[in-house]
Structure 1
Amino acid sequence: MNTNQPTPDRIMQLVNGYWATGILGAAASHSLFTHLETGADTAGQLAAQAGISERGAQTLLDGLVSLGLVELRDGSYRNTAEAATFLVEGQPACLSNFAKLKLAHMGNLVTLPEVVRTGGPVTDATVEVADNPHWEEVVQAIAAQSVPVATVAADMLRLAEAGEISILDVGGGSGIYSATWLELNPAARSTQLDWGPINAIARRLLAERGTADRFTCIDGDFHTTDFGTAAYDIAVYSHIAHQEGPEDNIAIFTKLRDAVKPGGTLVINDYIVDDDRSGPPFPLIFASEMLLKSKQGGTWRRAAYHAWLAKAGFENVSFHPTPSPTTLVFAR
């Protein structure tokens, strides 16, 4: 047998890739990773703890072992280090809610062939409106993704020792950047600009963290709301650029350049692709999400960020990897 001959194994894994989303989403829905972490280590114990059938528990465990999220040793199951860190409920970077969210979104992919043909969403969805009740679920589900990145950015900017600084978070969503940074620096203050219903979610998080007294919200649309002039030491634009087109990003970067003080820093966090679009893998595949859900968004190249930021008036732009599929950009 010629071992150099191609096999269909990887293609079969990709064709059936939706099973990974289903298994992970179902396991998260029944808190299996949390039950494993607290001592349940057999299908029977997990079934009893989660209130599911033993057959169902065994099937999910088999799938999770296949996915490399659960280990089986001497008849006992346990979380891998990866699952224990990112899928156990109560951890600040827990992605279980995000896994459940993506399970609910799976059906949307059946429209992708038509979306590819037309070049954008095929329905007039009203997702991107302030009063959509889905924000309550979505904003909190995606917050955990930003925890490691916000911490890395804070270390790089030495925020803990920066003293009395002012922060602007544009489209801040859950308020996770403000929450993380205000905890690190008790002299800092932060302002979030977002739609009113989303700011209400952020205020709850900051109250839970005990930093609400240094947190202010501006209810509004960042496309039309004024950011102020030379008012902030640091501005944040996280996971926003991918949903905007080039002209809107330039316009917002220009407003942000005006909003930061001389010597201040704009922090961008997003899925950014290499200039030749050869990688990284996750930002490349995330582009399909933007094709499905936005009329102008995409995963943009580093060169695009350079050009947009230069046009907005920033002179010093640097790119930094993170412990996630995103890239941090610092612009001054």
Structure 2
Amino acid sequence: MLTPFDVWKMSSAFQTARMILSASELGIFEALSSGAKDTKKLARLCRSSVRGMEYILDALAAIGILEKNRGMYRVPKALNAALSPDSEDSILPILRHSSSMWFKWHCLTKVVRTGKPADCLKEMDRDTKDKRVAFIGAMHAIAVGRGIAHYIARDCKVASRRKRLLDIGGASGTYAVAFLNIYPKLKATIFDLPDVIPMAKARIEKTRFAKRIGFCRGDFDSDALPKGHDLALLSAIIHQNGRKENRALYKKIYSALDDGGTLIIRDHVMSDDRTKPPLGAIFAVNMLVATDGGGTYTFKEIREDLASTGFSRIKMIRKGDNMDSLVSAEKRLQT
């Protein structure tokens, strides 16, 4: 049972979060990636006041994000890879994405009152290339750093009986690579926006799967999906849509899939009372501030929407707490 002190602690957790995000925005972690530095040098590199830099550096050292020794600050060895801009395990893209979300959450009170993203977001919500790169980088870091892509692919055992995967909104190809790594006979197509595909190609070219992955430019909201696939993946997509938009998307996927093909959905899948998993309930609020109609859905809602567009044999094949639940559905064989 929560105590009043617990509630107070929760309500002041924003202070720690804001310090970490500001350190990322200021470039403190990048500046320290080449070694320890003192306050004055960091203030100069980060174009900040010495007083302000000293306070935030000491606070970051106090909570263990940095280490301080004889006036010199460094990133702890255990966090070096995570806070280095050049590391494959870097979480800096996640921090950049979180910084952009901070401003949206700042408007939460107004958003709750109106039920729509607040006017204060319109100017900052422009989908710039930098924001998109940060978002895609964040999703890649989460999927790889926490091993999610690997165990999602592993648990989709139907892929062992499939020939070609369509990764819808596949971004940089993190999940396509994970699937191909486990299923050697599988090939894949990454379908995403025209300015995202070059990012995917650049990342895929560095892997051993370049010859097994194709690319298709398009917008799944307005364009038809490419045909010739017996497996489709919809990873962390449905939460950005309302149910009406999801039904339209499921209809497109049903039309594009080969007869007998399978759709896999990865997302939060909520309990009937919408309070579990807790991260899913919080993420629904994230969609409230960030989208016009997005949210997180129960299995019953997902099943109803899939069935309305023709899918059958709809089942939950994995139940998780971290946007790692899986739902599968099949397109009927035509007789």
TM range (shorter): 0.7 to 0.9
* Counterpart in the other structure of 1:305: 302
Tell me which moved more, 238-247 or 175-184. Answer: 175-184
Aligned-pair distance for 1:285?
A: 1.3
SS of equivalent to 1:13: helix
Aligned-pair distance for 1:77?
A: 8.9
* Counterpart in the other structure of 2:333: none
Aligned-pair distance for 1:199?
A: 1.5
Tell me which moved more, 115-124 or 167-176. Answer: 115-124
Counterpart CA distance in 2 for 1:178 and 1:6 is 45
Corresponding pairs, count: 319
SS of equivalent to 2:313: coil
* Counterpart in the other structure of 2:114: 118
Contact preservation (8 Å) 2:162, 2:230: no
- What TM-score do the two structures reach when normalised by structure 1? 0.77
Tell me which moved more, 161-170 or 111-120. Answer: 161-170
Give the CA RMSD over aligned residues.
Answer: 4.0
Contact preservation (8 Å) 2:154, 2:179: no
Aligned-pair distance for 1:153?
A: 1.8
Aligned-pair distance for 1:61?
A: 6.2
Aligned-pair distance for 1:175?
A: 2.0
Residue correspondence of structure 1 range 134-149 to structure 2 within 5 A: 134-147=131-144, 148-149=147-148
When residues 165 and 204 of structure 1 are mapped into structure 2, their CA distance, relative to the original with a 3 A threshold, is same
- What TM-score do the two structures reach when normalised by structure 2? 0.76
Aligned-pair distance for 1:165?
A: 2.2
- Please list the CA deviations of residues 60-99 of structure 1 after superposition, one character each: whole Å capped at 9, or x if unmatched: 4654664x76799xxx998597x57855655555422211
* Counterpart in the other structure of 2:318: 320
Residue correspondence of structure 1 range 1-332 to structure 2 within 5 A: 6-7=3-4, 9-28=5-24, 30=27, 32=29, 56=53, 59-60=56-57, 62-63=59-60, 66=63, 92=88, 94-123=90-119, 125=122, 133-147=130-144, 148-158=147-157, 162=160, 165-229=163-227, 231-312=228-309, 313-322=311-320, 325-332=322-329
Contact preservation (8 Å) 2:57, 2:66: no
Contact preservation (8 Å) 2:162, 2:231: no
- Please list the CA deviations of residues 290-330 of structure 1 after superposition, one character each: whole Å capped at 9, or x if unmatched: 112211111222221122222231313114245x6213323
When residues 202 and 44 of structure 1 are mapped into structure 2, their CA distance, relative to the original with a 3 A threshold, is same
Aligned-pair distance for 1:264?
A: 3.4
Counterpart CA distance in 2 for 1:302 and 1:256 is 19
Aligned-pair distance for 1:196?
A: 0.2
SS of equivalent to 2:205: helix
Tell me which moved more, 190-199 or 304-313. Answer: 304-313
SS of equivalent to 2:269: coil
SS of equivalent to 1:197: coil
- Please list the CA deviations of residues 157-201 of structure 1 after superposition, one character each: whole Å capped at 9, or x if unmatched: 358x93872110111122211233334445432112221001121
Contact preservation (8 Å) 1:70, 1:80: no
